[in-house]
Amino acid sequence: MPDFIYLASQSPRRSQLLTQIGIRHELLLPDAHEDAEALEAIKPGEAPAAYVKRVTGLKLDAAVARLKRRGLPAAPVLCSDTTVALGRTIYGKPDHADDARRMLGELAGHTHRVLTAVAVQHGKKRLEALSDSRVTFCALTPGRIRAYVASGEPTGKAGAYAVQGLAATFIERIGGSYSGIMGLPVFETAALLRQLGFKC
């Protein structure tokens, strides 16, 4: 059994969380010609949980193919994807500052879901899990939203915010997995890796 895994994610938070639970890992990032963003396209009428699980599976397929193409040593490959949902509306990464302001304005004063899917593949064996958390934002003035977006923190974040950053001042209540909201649910991830023989 390998003593490390490949993490197919550019998120420094996911890497930090794996390190936190003692999992040695190497990054397996997309090649320049790979269109990783295209994998995140939402299908019409797609439910948030189905969406995030499908996207995670597609990312894992791409990562496993990448591993073979590069001829790297065999080891488990882990992928994760996070989405924010208010009702059936899916909030991905904002396209620009106006988009981030719109998202935060719609989430303000409401409770939304944060869904993070995790999938790991070793050989032909694929294991999956889903973390479903609730986050309640306080009411936000346009000025607070503008200031937060100007900080640059919403860039590249599902729902246009980072729970571990400045947005913590917006959050009245959390139910579920804090690490899942960050982008990698530690409880579920550790359970999957233990099934492959890792000690977390």
Give the DSSP letter string of 29-73. PPPTT--GGGGGPPPTT--HHHHHHHHHHHHHHHHHHHHHHHTPP
pLDDT tens track for 94-137: 999 999 999 999 999 999 999 999 999 999 999 999 999 999 99
Which of 3, 31, 61, 81 is the catalytic position? 81
Output the pTM of the full model.
0.94
**Distance in angstroms (rounded) separating the CA atoms of residues 61 and 56:** 9
Confidence of residue 31 (pLDDT cuts 50, 70, 90): confident
Mark whether 99 is an active-site residue: no
Residue type, 138: C
